[in-house]
Amino acid sequence: MFNKILIANRGEIALRVIRTCKEMGIKTVAVYSQADENSLHVVFADEAVCIGPPSSKDSYLKISNIMSAAQITGADAIHPGYGFLAENADFSEICGEHNIKFIGPSPDMINRMGDKSLAKETMRQVGVPVVPGSDGVVKSIEEAKSIALNIGYPVILKASAGGGGKGMRIVWEESEIKNAFQTASNEAEAAFGNSALYLEKFIVSPRHVEIQVMGDQFGNVYHYGERDCTVQRRHQKLIEESPSPVITPEVREKMASAAIKGCQSVNYEGAGTVEFLVDKDLNFYFIEMNTRIQVEHPVTEMVNNLDLIKQQILAASGNKIEDISKGLRGHSIEFRINAEDPANGFRPSPGKIEYLHFPGGFGVRIDSHIYNEYTVPPYYDSLIAKLIVWGTDRTHAIARAKRAFEEFTIEGIKTTIPFHQKVIENAHFLNGDYDTNSIDKLFN
């Protein structure tokens, strides 16, 4: 087992990892930017090293500074959390070269899965259902036209190096495809330095459902059920839950088997998420694989009664991990509390928290790095807390969320709490009757 883990991240996920390390008797090193010197991850870690000025590119993304921090503190492993360097192949490789275990994917796995058209091809070849479309990259507007003619409009062009919505264009009819191809490839080149696109049939009103998987060094790959992340705005997830309100046991079994088959075919190790689109008839199609722990992992922890960060650390240090034989229990929902104003287009709202009160009680979990009189810095993402509720069923979980939000008080900045309070009173949400385009329907 590791002696000392450096957490190459900030905010709630840095704290989340520190908590599990402490429970496992592993020492911890926090790294922080000058904007985060008053952060809780700095307080709760055994040691802390400043790695640069506020800007992410000079601190949390600065590989040389993080490696120096690991070497001077004698860390034998690095946990990257999510975002920042979590899916950076160079970082994963450099850790290996310095004999520091990267608690995340190998450089090879990052490259395979980071290329979305290659990942899709890999999955398709082992029989995982994928959205009909191009086999790999589309090289020209003519080729795009010919494939689209074959599968029928609407279609969607996606950046191979993309993911999470960047470099995507929906094309409703042939007259739009030339322009869409050019703007999507330009956007992809500017954002990722790679203009490659692939093409798919556009699924008009899908749900986003993902399977949590974990692999160990003995070739075991287990799944821990699904998360439904359909409540999103501009590709930012706002609410996630497990189980999905629409997935049947039969569909869950098929989706999970497909996810495991795909992961076993590439000898997947560690935590991963296999993302699917689900249509109205509950047909599911692989779209992407994420090779990291995700923001929404707690809902999976709650229904499995299992610490996923602990499983990641166990797997990375060469131990066996736990399977799902205990079964899934109850229903869990996560609400992302962002420092944003939902009444004004979710505009960022950093600043000083003048008063804070967290909810508590049975079935209520808060993962957060904020505290009373903490100042939310403007430099990083706006997530300041996650409210995770557990109930015996979905109705019970929603009732808990409602009473938890009545206790939850954050003054001094705007947050997404009023958005969530509206959503959990909305009949469409209560009935599970929504898709990825429903955000306005749920908030009004």
Residue 232 interacting with ligand MV4 (CB under 6 A): yes
| 141 in Cβ contact with 181 (< 8 Å) | yes
| 28 versus 436: smaller Cβ distance to ligand MV4 | 436
Q: State the Cα angle at 15 between 11 and 17, rounded to 5°.
A: 120
Q: Which one of residues 2, 82, 84, 202 is an interface residue with ligand MV4 (CB under 6 A)?
A: 202
Residue 200 interacting with ligand MV4 (CB under 6 A): yes
Residue 131 interacting with ligand MV4 (CB under 6 A): yes
- Which helix (H) or strand (E) segment holds residue 97: the answer is helix 89-97
Residues present in the chain in total: 444
Of the candidates 77, 74, 84, the residue with the CA atom closest to the CA atom of residue 10: 84
Burial label for 248, CB within 10 Å (0-12, 13-18, 19+), is exposed
Residue 198 interacting with ligand MV4 (CB under 6 A): no
Residue 287 interacting with ligand MV4 (CB under 6 A): yes
- Which helix (H) or strand (E) segment holds residue 398: the answer is helix 394-407
Residue nearest ligand MV4 by beta-carbon distance: 436
| 84 versus 286: smaller Cβ distance to ligand MV4 | 286
Q: Which one of residues 110, 277, 376, 404 is an interface residue with ligand MV4 (CB under 6 A)?
A: 277
- Cβ neighbours, 10 Å, residue 343: 11
First to last CA, the chain: 51
Peptide bond into 107 cis (omega under 30): no
Stretch that binds ligand MV4, among 106-114, 199-207, 310-318, 384-392 (CB under 6 A): 199-207
Of the candidates 84, 30, 27, 49, the residue with the CA atom closest to the CA atom of residue 313: 27
137 to 176, contacts with ligand MV4 by CB under 6 A? 156, 164-165
Residue 209 interacting with ligand MV4 (CB under 6 A): no
- Cβ neighbours, 10 Å, residue 213: 22
Query: 292, 336, 365, 400: which is the annotated catalytic residue?
Result: 292
Stretch that binds ligand MV4, among 186-194, 196-204, 249-257, 382-390 (CB under 6 A): 196-204
Stretch that binds ligand MV4, among 72-80, 194-202, 251-259, 353-361 (CB under 6 A): 194-202
| 299 in Cβ contact with 386 (< 8 Å) | no
Amino acid at 293: I
Query: How far apart are the C-alpha atoms of 240 and 243, rounded to whole Å?
Result: 9
| 192 in Cβ contact with 204 (< 8 Å) | no
- Give me the least distance between CB of 73 and ligand MV4, in Å please: 36
Query: How far apart are the C-alpha atoms of 158 and 251, rounded to whole Å?
Result: 27
- Cβ neighbours, 10 Å, residue 444: 7
| 92 versus 290: smaller Cβ distance to ligand MV4 | 290
Site size for ligand MV4 (CB under 6 A): 16
35 to 94, contacts with ligand MV4 by CB under 6 A? none
| 291 versus 349: smaller Cβ distance to ligand MV4 | 291
Residue 288 interacting with ligand MV4 (CB under 6 A): yes
Residue 134 interacting with ligand MV4 (CB under 6 A): no
Q: Which one of residues 110, 159, 180, 203 is an interface residue with ligand MV4 (CB under 6 A)?
A: 203
Residue 180 interacting with ligand MV4 (CB under 6 A): no
Residue 227 designated active-site: no
| 12 in Cβ contact with 385 (< 8 Å) | yes
Stretch that binds ligand MV4, among 197-205, 263-271, 338-346, 350-358 (CB under 6 A): 197-205
User: Can you give the binding site for ligand MV4, defined by CB under 6 A?
Assistant: 131, 156, 164-165, 200-203, 206, 208, 232, 235, 277, 287-288, 436
Q: Which residues are catalytic?
A: 292
